[in-house]
Amino acid sequence: MAANLEKRVDALERELKSLKSAVRKNKSKGPWWERMAGAFKDDPLFDEMVEAGQEYRKSLARRSNGRNS
């Protein structure tokens, strides 16, 4: 029983070490949103998606304003 527990703890410690290393590497690259900035520059499909989102939010606002009047 103790040997099994020790193996499990060892495996967890190795995994934790691996995860910490990955986090350190990722942090050195900077914030994720800075790495993504400009990724969709001049992409007409992305522009279309943004417009669709804006229209959807406007429709929600119109619907909400109609109920409150």
Identity of the amino acid at 38: G
- What does each of the 69 residues of the chain score in pLDDT, given as a tens digit? 889 999 999 999 999 999 999 888 877 778 888 888 999 999 999 999 999 999 999 999 998 887 654
- 56: enclosing H helix or E strand: helix 44-68
The secondary structure of residue 37, as a DSSP letter, is T
CA dist 6 and 53 (Å) reads 53
Phi, then psi, of 5 in degrees rounded to 5: -65, -40
pLDDT computed for residue 67 by the predictor = 65
